[in-house]
């Protein structure tokens, strides 16, 4: 009973800290959905040049989609003529970072990691996109163009199933709608489909963080043989096959940092965990081909390790002890705000997941986009 109490207490503490910033992040995501036309993304993703790759990374970075949820959107973009490099960059930058995960990173870790995380995500995405553009076209399967909105889901990947639709070919009616209507639809999307997509995984991430905080010894990661390289490899082995969204990976990383994990190793986990998992890699190989999938995974692995080493050097050069900062963190917001936000977020997650499952029970969808 003592262990259970400690676990639940730590989990509730983590959730309280994250909830207000998660709500804020999803609110901003709703605004982006309402104000940024999808056609804008499609127009700028064509071609094989550096500009299209950079646009793919920058425009995907603020969107809070998981590595599975971004697949249907990327397929839709590719069907509408987006280049392989821009599509690859979009697929990496989108799950690795987002407005929701950045808000939680600032609240639970520190401002420096809040800057390093999106910077590493964009550089990784651009690197992978440029590498993808070097592949001969014969190694990249052409996806059949579609004239209507295409949706797809990745079975066993996201809690919302088909919560993330592919990009439609035309958004003219939506773009012409009044601002109030677009705002309502955008917020409905953020606190509906998006939250259904990652809601349960947020809870899983919080519970994992609570377990680490309650049961892992305070100096556990400091005692690993091999130093920083071993810890980074360990985070790589855990992060690549594991499914965890950008928001839920943050409390896990914060808990491991408190147990002595280096900031570089934590950054490796924050980059690989959200961007890759076994299901995503499998579906990518079948849809985009082994060559593009290999570039995708290799770029993430290499860039994550490089930024991990760089992060450790930056923290050391600045004399910034992340463990000391985390151990002395106090409540960023009044207690009543954290509790109210936590209860509201729990209600919204339950509502979104139940609504999504009801819809998919009534209208089954394909297990994977072909």
Q: Which residues have C-beta within 8 Å of that of residue 264, sequence separation ≥ 6? A: 228, 232, 307, 308, 309, 310, 311, 312, 315
Give the confidence band of 344 by pLDDT, cuts at 50, 70, 90. very high
Which pLDDT score is estimated for 152?
45
Pairwise CA distance, residues 283 & 272, whole Å: 17
Residue (of 46, 66, 64, 65) closest to 56 by Cα position: 46
Pairwise CA distance, residues 170 & 80, whole Å: 10
Which stretch, 46-50, 278-282, 292-296, has highest mean pLDDT?
292-296
Residue ranges covered by each domain of the chain: 2-362
The encoded tokens of residue 303 equal: 């860039």
pLDDT digits (tens, 9 = 90+) for 211-226: 877 777 666 666 666 6
- pLDDT above 70 covers a percentage of the chain that reads 70
pLDDT digits (tens, 9 = 90+) for 77-90: 676 667 788 888 98
Pairwise CA distance, residues 222 & 233, whole Å: 14
- φ, ψ of residue 154 in degrees (nearest 5): -110, 110
pLDDT digits (tens, 9 = 90+) for 305-334: 999 999 999 999 988 777 655 655 545 567
pLDDT digits (tens, 9 = 90+) for 26-72: 786 677 677 766 566 566 666 667 888 898 888 788 876 666 667 66
- φ, ψ of residue 356 in degrees (nearest 5): -65, -45
Give the confidence band of 361 by pLDDT, cuts at 50, 70, 90. low
The torsion defined by the Cα of 195, 275, 214 and 3, in degrees rounded to 10, comes to 70
* pTM recorded for the entire structure: 0.68
**Positive or negative CA dihedral for 246, 252, 258, 262?**
negative
């Amino acid at each position: 009973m003592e262990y259970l109490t400690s676990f639940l207490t730590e989990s509730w503490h983590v959730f309280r800290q994250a909830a207000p910033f998660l709500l804020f992040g999803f609110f901003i995501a709703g605004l982006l959905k309402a104000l940024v036309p999808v056609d804008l993304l499609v127009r700028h993703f064509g071609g094989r040049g550096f500009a299209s790759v950079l646009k793919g990374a920058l425009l995907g970075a603020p969107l809070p989609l998981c590595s599975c949820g971004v697949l249907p959107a990327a397929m839709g973009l590719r069907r509408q003529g987006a280049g392989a490099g821009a599509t690859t960059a979009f697929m990496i930058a989108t799950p690795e970072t987002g407005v929701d995960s950045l808000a939680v990173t600032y609240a639970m870790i520190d401002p420096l990691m809040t800057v390093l995380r999106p910077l590493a995500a964009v550089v990784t995405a651009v690197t992978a996109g440029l590498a993808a553009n070097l592949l001969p076209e014969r190694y990249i399967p052409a996806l059949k163009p579609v004239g209507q909105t295409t949706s797809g889901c990745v079975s066993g990947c996201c809690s919302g199933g088909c919560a993330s639709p592919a990009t439609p070919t035309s958004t003219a009616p939506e773009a012409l709608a009044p601002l109030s209507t677009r705002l309502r639809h955008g917020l409905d999307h953020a606190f509906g489909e998006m939250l259904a997509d990652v809601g349960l995984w947020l809870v899983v991430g919080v519970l994992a963080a609570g377990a680490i905080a309650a049961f892992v010894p305070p100096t556990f990661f400091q005692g690993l043989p091999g130093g920083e390289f071993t810890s980074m490899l360990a985070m790589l082995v855990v992060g690549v096959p594991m499914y965890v969204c950008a928001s839920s990976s943050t409390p896990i990383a914060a808990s491991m940092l408190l147990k002595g994990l280096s900031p570089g190793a934590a950054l490796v986990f924050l980059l690989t965990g959200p961007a890759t998992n076994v299901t995503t890699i499998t579906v990518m190989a079948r849809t985009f081909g082994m060559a593009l999938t290999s570039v995708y995974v290799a770029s993430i692995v290499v860039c994550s390790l490089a930024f991990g080493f760089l992060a450790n050097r930056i923290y050391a050069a600045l004399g910034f002890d992340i463990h000391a900062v985390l151990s002395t963190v106090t409540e960023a917001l009044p207690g009543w705000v954290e509790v109210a936000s936590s209860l509201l977020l729990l209600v919204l997650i339950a509502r979104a997941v139940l609504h999504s499952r009801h819809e998919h029970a009534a209208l089954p969808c394909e297990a994977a986009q072909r």
